[in-house]
Structure 1
Amino acid sequence: MERHITLGEFIIENQKDFPYAKGELSALLSSIRLAGKVVNQQINKAGLAEILGKAGKENVQGESQAKLDVMANDVFVDTLRNRGEICGLASEELEDFLVFDDEIHKKAKYVVLIDPLDGSSNIDANITVGTIFSIYRRVSKEGSPATLEDFLQPGTKQVAAGYLIYGTSTILVYTTGKGVNGFTFDPGIGSFFLSHPAIIFPPKGITYSINEGNYVHFPDGIKKYIKWVQQFDEKENRPFTSRYTGSLVADFHRNMLFGGIFLYPEGTTAPKGKLRLLYEGNPMAFLAEQAGGKATDGFNRIMEIEPEELHQRVPFICGSKEMVEKAEEFL
C-alpha cells in the first residue's frame, strides 16, 4: 500500500536541505501551514459568517480592503508571532514592518514577508484566491530588534518561498531552493499530503495571462507580443488561449502545471508595474526558477533587483522559460 507523505513528514525528512538547519525554518514552515488551515476554514465559510465584502478601509497602497484581507492578515501575524521563529514580519496590508522585540523573538534568525490574501477582490464571486510568503535570514545582529535592512534584501537571498491556493482544493506549494513541491489539504484528516512532487514548468505552453483591458496603456513591445500570441500559427499552436483571473496565485499555479506565461507590465496607469517586488515578485520568481521557469521585469532578472522600499512595485513577466524569453524579444 502506497504511503502518503504529510507536509510535516516531508519538512522533517528534508530539513538537511536547509542551509542553516537547526529546526527553526522547519518550525516556521509549520506555522505557515497552521495559519493556512485557519484562513482556508474562514474562506470556506465566508458567506455564512458574513465576512464577505469590503472592510471599509484601504491598505497602504490605497486599495480597498476586503474583510477577508484583514482577517487573513491578522491570522498570519498572530500565528507567526506566537510561535517565536521570526524577529519581524512585513505584510502587503501594513504600511510598515512589524518588530517582535521580546527576548525570544529578538534571538530569531528569520523574517517573513507576506501577501495574506492575493486576489481578494475575487472573494465575493467565489473565485480562487491565495496567500504568498517569502522567508529571509536576517542580516541584522541576532539579539537585536529587526531592521528595515532585514526586509530589503534581493530575492536571491530568500531561503524559502511559497503560496497557498484556496480553490476547489487547498494546496500549499513551496521551495527551499531544492525544487518545488505541492501538498493538498485533506479536510477530513486535517493534514496536507504530498500531491505534486518535484513540479517542473513545461518549457512552453499555449496559455497567456494578462489583463487585456489595460491594452491601450501597455508598452509597444507588450502590444506587439499580444498580437503575436493571437496570430494563427499551426506549428506553434497559436493563437494561444487567454486565461486571466485577477489572482496571481491562480494564474501562476495553472501555468506552472500546464505551461504558460503571466504578464503584468508597466503602463500609463501603473508606471512601475502593479505587483509588489517583495510580496509577490520575489517569491513567485523563486518558485518559477526552481521549477525551471523564468521571471523578469522585461529586461532584468526579478530576483536580482535591489529593493529600495517595502512596497516597491515592479513589472512582472513570469512562466515557461521559452515563452518568457519570447516576450523579452518583443520588449
Structure 2
Amino acid sequence: MPEINVTEHLLLNQKRTPMARGRLTHLLNQLILSFKIISREVSKAGLVDVLGFTGEINVQGEEVKKLDEFSNDVLIHRMSRAGVLCAMASEENESIIEIPKGFPTGDYVLIFDPLDGSSNIEANINIGTIFSILRRKSSADGDCEMSDLLQQGVEQVAAGYCIYGSSTMLVMTTGSGVHGFTLDPSVGEFLLSHPDLKIPERGKIYSINEGYTSYWDDATKEVVNWFKDPSANDLGKPYSSRYIGSLVADFHRTLLYGGIFLYPSDRRDPKKPKGKLRLLSEANPLAMVVEQSWGLATDGADRILEVEPSELHQRVPLVIGSPHEVEIVRNIYKKHGY
C-alpha cells in the first residue's frame, strides 16, 4: 500500500467535505513547512548556538530560550506571508500579531505556543508546537479584532501539535477525527503513521506535578489520592505516575496510552490563581484533539471547549484524557462544590 503524506491526506479530506476550502489546506501546508524548519533546528540544537537564554523575559514573566525565539520568529515570518490569515497570537507575544502591510490577508486566525516544554531543551526531552485555527468573525473589510481571537474552543476549525523528539510527529484534527503523521527525514515528508487515533476508554497512568501538593485544595488532593490508593480506585491497584513536565509530551503519551493529565489551579502564585496553562494556545487545541479522539477535557467541572475567553493570555485548570478517569475527577470536584 503506498504511503500517504500529509498534503495528500488533507486534499482527500477536502474532496470528501463539500464545505471545505482550499485556503485552510494552504494554511496547514504553510504550518507544516514551519514545523519542518523548527524540527531541523531542534535536531541540531546542541551543535549550534540556539540553546540557552536570550536574556529577555516573555509576557508570561519567563526567561525566553533562544530556540523559543527562533520557533516564534519562524512561525510569524512564514504565516504572515501565507495570505490566509488576518491575525495571529503567540504565547510569547503580549498582543495581537498583525499581518504586515503589503501582504495579502484571509479569513483565518492562528493561535500558537511556538515551543512548549522549552525548559527541557538542554535535557533532550520532547518539546513541541501547539496550534489552534479559528475563522474570523469580524467583517473582512476591516482589521481583525480581539473578538476574532477570543472565541470559545468549540469554534476551532483545526488544531493540533507537532512534537519533536526521537522522531518528529504531527498530530492534528480538522473536525473529523485525529490523525498522526511522522516526519520521514529521508524524503522530508510527514507520512500518515497513526490514522484515526482513539484514546483508550480508560488507562492506568495519571500525570500531575506532585511537587505542588501543599499548594492544592482538598478536592485536588482527594483526586490524586484516588489514583494512588488501591482500596479507593476501581483499578484495584495504584495507577502508575508519569510526569515529564512538557505539556505536549505528557499529553501525547496520554493520547496513545490512555489515562489522565492534570494541571490544576493552586496557591503557588497569586498572579496565577487558575494555574499555569493558557486557554487559547494550549488547553483549547489539545481539548479539540482529545474530544475528536473520543476523550474528554474539563477545567475540573466544565468542558474546556465551552469556556468563554476574556483575555488573550487567560489561564485555566486542565483535566484531560480518557473518559473514565476524567469523569471520576469531575465527580470528585463536584462533591467539593466545583
Same fold flag (TM > 0.5): yes
Q: What is the aligned partner in structure 2 of residue 207 from structure 1?
A: 205
Q: What is the aligned partner in structure 1 of residue 8 from structure 2?
A: 9
Q: Which moved more, 1:318-327 or 1:227-236?
A: 227-236
User: What pairs up with 1:283-322 in 2 under 5 angstroms?
Assistant: 283-322=285-324
Q: 1:24 to 1:68 in 2, by over 3 A?
A: same
C-alpha distance in 1, partners of 2:324/2:16?
29
Partner-residue secondary structure (3-state), 1:330:
helix
Q: 1:47 to 1:266 in 2, by over 3 A?
A: same
User: What pairs up with 1:96-111 in 2 under 5 angstroms?
Assistant: 96-100=95-99, 102=101, 105-106=104-105, 108-111=106-109
Paired residue type of 1:24: R
Q: Which whole-Å deviations, capped at 9, do the CAs of 1:79-135 have from their partners, x for residues lacking one?
A: 1112211111000000011111546534x0101000000000000111000000000
C-alpha contact (below 8 Å) 1:17/1:176 kept by paired residues: no
C-alpha distance in 2, partners of 1:235/1:157?
36
C-alpha distance in 2, partners of 1:202/1:62?
37
Q: What is the aligned partner in structure 1 of residue 254 from structure 2?
A: 255
Q: What is the aligned partner in structure 2 of residue 79 from structure 1?
A: 78
C-alpha contact (below 8 Å) 1:295/1:316 kept by paired residues: yes
Partner-residue secondary structure (3-state), 1:14:
helix
Of 115, 118, 137, which residue of structure 2 is paired with 1:117? Answer: 115
C-alpha distance in 2, partners of 1:231/1:27?
50
Q: Which whole-Å deviations, capped at 9, do the CAs of 1:253-312 have from their partners, x for residues lacking one?
A: 111111110000001024111100000010000001000000000111101011000000
Of 192, 195, 201, which residue of structure 1 is paired with 2:193? Answer: 195
Q: Which whole-Å deviations, capped at 9, do the CAs of 1:123-153 have from their partners, x for residues lacking one?
A: 0111000000000000111132111111000
C-alpha contact (below 8 Å) 1:18/1:176 kept by paired residues: no
Paired residue type of 2:238: P
Of 142, 153, 156, which residue of structure 1 is paired with 2:154? Answer: 156
Paired residue type of 1:204: R
Paired residue type of 2:67: L
Paired residue type of 2:218: D
Give TM-score scaled by structure 1 length: 0.96
C-alpha distance in 1, partners of 2:240/2:141?
52
Q: How many residues align?
A: 329
C-alpha distance in 1, partners of 2:295/2:65?
32
Partner-residue secondary structure (3-state), 1:139:
coil
C-alpha distance in 2, partners of 1:274/1:285?
16
Partner-residue secondary structure (3-state), 1:221:
helix
Q: Which whole-Å deviations, capped at 9, do the CAs of 1:36-72 have from their partners, x for residues lacking one?
A: 0000000011111121111111110101111111000
Partner-residue secondary structure (3-state), 1:105:
coil
C-alpha distance in 2, partners of 1:103/1:62?
33
Q: 1:16 to 1:238 in 2, by over 3 A?
A: farther
Structure 1 unaligned runs (5+)?
none
* C-alpha RMSD of the superposition: 1.4
User: Following TM superposition, by how much is the alpha carbon of 1:227 offset from its aligned partner in structure 2, in angstroms?
Assistant: 1.1
Partner-residue secondary structure (3-state), 2:282:
helix
C-alpha distance in 1, partners of 2:305/2:264?
16
1:240 aligns with 2:239: yes
Paired residue type of 2:172: Y
Structure 2 unaligned runs (5+)?
334-338
User: Following TM superposition, by how much is the alpha carbon of 1:19 offset from its aligned partner in structure 2, in angstroms?
Assistant: 7.2
User: Following TM superposition, by how much is the alpha carbon of 1:17 offset from its aligned partner in structure 2, in angstroms?
Assistant: 5.6
Paired residue type of 1:291: S
